[in-house]
Amino acid sequence: MSRRRSPGTKKKIALLVGAATMAGGGAFVMANASNAAQTTEDARTKAAQDSGVCQGLATALGNNQRFIEGRRADPDAQSQARIENREAVVAEIERQQAASGCAVGESAQDSPAGDQAGDRAGGQVDGPAGDQTGGRAGGAGQAGEQVCAGATVTLSGEGGAPAASSDRFPVGTRLRVTNLDNAKSTTVEVNSVSGSCALLNNAAFEQVREEGKFLIRRALIEKVD
């Protein structure tokens, strides 16, 4: 009767070493793939932050949240409908934050003071220059002159034809917004209230934005009439 020969000790050791090497190699490949994916994600997030995408979305989110807070604090007959509309806008901005690799829910406002009481009274400080050219009731500025000096401009997230919303200009006021970084301008009519000097809706913002950016840091805002 023939006997099956079992592998020798040396051969067993070689097989075990080989299996361990293959397992280790697989783990190394998986670790490299994981590290590469994380590096890509980190690079995407950094690129979004460097281009102003995250800051622009955070500002847009903050302005809309501030508007909602203002309507709740000082409601009128249309407040509930406006709040529901802006809540939908907030959800869309948060979706864009996630898609861009930004911190979801991170918000900021383009007014360092952020004083809602002063805003409603017409004394909001808007932008780093601290311009206090009038308030909502007075319709700040004269036709043809620059207003809201130093203010940044972002988008509200709202659809529709090109338009703007403002915390200090009455509905019907026409504003010219120029992006000084690309010399693009748009003239829009204020059609609603917001928590910012001039907040452009999506269509208006597309007319003056730089590709991939959600914030205009160097903006010239002029009152047309």
CATH number of the domain within which 160 lies: 2.40.40.10
In a domain, 209, yes or no: yes
3 located within any domain = no
Report the domain count for the chain: 1
Tell me if 2 is assigned to some domain: no
pLDDT of 92 above 70: yes
Type of residue found at 106: E
| Average pLDDT over the chain, rounded to an integer | 73
Q: What is the pLDDT of residue 205?
A: 94
| Residue among 219, 30, 26, 21 nearest 127 (CA) | 219
Domain around 73 = 51-223
Angle, to 10 degrees, between the axis of helix 53-73 and the axis of helix 9-50? Answer: 60
Q: What is the mean pLDDT of residues 35-51?
A: 60
Mean pLDDT check: name the lowest of 79-88, 133-142, 203-212: 133-142
Counting Cβ atoms within 10 Å, is residue 197 exposed (0-12), middle (13-18) or buried (19+)?
Answer: buried
pLDDT of 174 > 90? The answer is: yes
The whole-number pLDDT of residue 99 equals 87
Angle of helix 79-100 relative to helix 53-73, nearest 10 degrees, comes to: 160
Q: Which amino acid is at 34?
A: S
